[in-house]
Amino acid sequence: MGSAPGQRDSATGEAQKIRQLGMAVIDTEAKSVASLAARIDSNFVKACQCMLACDGRIVVIGMGKSGHIGSKIAATLASTGTPAFFVHPGEASHGDLGMITKKDVVLAISNSGETDEILTILPLIKRLGVPLITLTGNASSTLAQAADANIDVSVEQEACPLGLAPTSSTTATLVMGDALAISLLETRGFTAEDFARSHPGGRLGRRLLLLIKDIMHTGADIPSVHESVRLSEALVEMTKKGLGMTAVVDDNKRLAGIFTDGDLRRALDRKVDVHQESISKVMTRNCKTISPDMLAAEALQLMDTHKINALLVVDKDKTLAGALNMHDLLRAGVV
């Protein structure tokens, strides 16, 4: 039996209310994030300069939800060229404070700026003489006043209708942490290759570090014919090597062109005699090539841009050095 009209109306009304509530949260948090643009001021610059000058590590501290955000900020800093780690302030007062050295910078996070566990260790941080950067929602708070650079991450309202659960405030803090990390990344000249070195495992490392020469077919595995052969011989070579194409070279092994499955279809459309036609008459000259020392990710970009499925690899003298196709990139985990 179906639902009664009243029940259906009730369910529809409830669904609409849930959607509205979700949209309201997103709207509130989006406004909080947008307001941060005005906080990229002299304090933000000073905070970045302190971290750039740091000879040690950035020690991030925070309690509760701020601690979870701090842990993520520390991880982002560390993966983008700024050595960092998270220390729980409650544990710090019971021995972990020894993890902070005079070469470090402390980044303390507290929405109120009055978190007891952080204020307890504040005198010890000051005694070490390390720079203190704070992210607070209250510029007049004890923590903010003690900072060398306090960044304002206050929000007009939390997304929680009760105003109790940290929502907009934690989002704003997380975004400001990202702003710090990426500003430092750009200023340091941190590259994609640097990023990959700290992420050697998985797909990301493969995409950013793998070179063409690591995956290309070489030697006898390269499909290759001389420019004087007939089309039929080129087809035999293509079939034998299984890359969907063959290189065409001159007497000095320099690349003269390429013949692909697409070239074959076009030749057949023109009623070319595969047993009589010379490969030089139907091959593609001035084909796209790549260097063996380039990144595999660059081969993928080249293939995508030019809508091709295979590439020939040549050295600086245009001598044939290797070949690869999209399947090679797939097997290597680059795609």
Distance CA 7, CA 304 (A): 53
Task: Assess whether 217 and 103 both reside in one domain.
Answer: no
The tally of domains found in the chain comes to 2
Q: d(Cα 61, Cα 110) in Å, to the nearest integer?
A: 9
CA-to-CA distance for 208 and 334, rounded, in angstroms? 8
158, 190, 222: which is the final residue of a domain? Answer: 190
Residue 204 maps to a domain: no
> Whole-prediction pTM value?
0.61
Residue-level pLDDT at 145 = 97
Q: 225 and 159, same structural domain?
A: no
pLDDT score at 5: 62
Instruction: Say if residue 221 is in the same domain as residue 74.
Output: no
Are residues 152 and 110 located together in one domain of the fold? yes
- Residue that terminates a domain, selected from 190, 221, 237: 190
Phi and psi, residue 224, nearest 5°: -155, 135
Question: Can you give the pLDDT at residue 90?
Answer: 81
Does residue 264 sit in the same domain as residue 128?
A: no
* Core vs surface per residue 69-91: b (16+ CB within 10 A) or e: bbbbbbbbbbebbbebebbbbbe
Domain that holds residue 234: 212-331
CATH number at 138 reads 3.40.50.10490
Name the stretches of the chain with pLDDT < 50.
Answer: none
- From 131, 159, 190, the end of a domain falls on 190
- Domain check: are 183 and 272 in the same one? no
Q: Which residue has the tokens 């340091």?
A: 188
Tell whether 174 and 284 lie within a shared domain.
no
